[in-house]
Each structure stands twice: as structure tokens, then as C-alpha cells.
Structure 1
Amino acid sequence: MLKRLLASNSADDGMTTAEYAVGTIAAAALAAVLYVVLTGDSVEDHLTSLVEQAISVDL
């Protein structure tokens, strides 16, 4: 019984490591895309406009 359990698990050795590697690569790619989008001029202009509207006071 123990021999059969050990034999069935040996086929999946390293599977969790591969899943972590794919997840890490996906997270790094998402971070890179977000960095490029958020450092663009249009995003900066929209954020600046939003902040200026928030701090302006209409009397």
C-alpha cells in the first residue's frame, strides 16, 4: 500500500514549483504592464486634473 502511494506521487514531483514559477512570471508581467500604463503622460494628466479639482475651492 505504501509503495503504491509513493509511486503515484513521484509523477508529480516539481509540479508545485512549476506552478509557483508561472505565477511569479505572471505577477512580474502584470507589474510591468501597470508600471508602463501608470507612468504614461495621459494617466499623469488625468491624475493631476483630479487632484486640482479636489483641492480647488469655489466661492
Structure 2
Amino acid sequence: MTRVNVRKRLAGWWRVRVARVRRDAGMSTTEYAMGTIAAAAFAAVLYKVLTSGTVAKALESVIGKALHAPF
């Protein structure tokens, strides 16, 4: 096989690989939907935790100490 033929075969192989990668780039609609649902669920859990009595008192205590700190 000559050097030119080898280059042509490699170039053809490379074009096929690039086309496959471009075709699979990004997420599909279902993957976006699942990611959005997961993010919303995480936000709901985080909201519940941060608004619970214990965490609210702790945050209030930290903020109160920061505001009344002497300079």
C-alpha cells in the first residue's frame, strides 16, 4: 500500500469518527428533563432543610454574632 493510499484511508476513518462524535454531542430532551427534575428536587430538599427550626436558629445565631462583633 502506498503512502497516499494510507493517508486516504486514515482521512476517511477520521471523518467517520468526527461525524459520530458530532452526532452524539450534547444531551437529549429526556436527559434535560431528568436533570431539571433532579435539580428541582434538590432545591426542594435544600429549602426544607434551611427553613427548618434548628437550621433557622443556627443561621440566625451566626448572623447575630457577625452583626454584633466588635471592630
- Shorter-chain TM-score: which interval? 0.5 to 0.7
For residues 1-59 of structure 1, the aligned pairs below 5 Å read: 16-57=28-69
**5+ long unaligned stretches in structure 1:** none
Larger Rg: 2
Aligned residues between the structures = 47
1:54–1:25: structure 2 CA closer, same or farther, 3 Å change rule? same
**5+ long unaligned stretches in structure 2:** 1-18
Give TM-score scaled by structure 2 length: 0.56
Q: Higher RCO, 1 or 2 (CA under 8 Å, sep at least 6)?
A: 1
Give TM-score scaled by structure 1 length: 0.66
Please report the RMSD computed on the Cα atoms of aligned residues, expressed in angstroms: 2.4
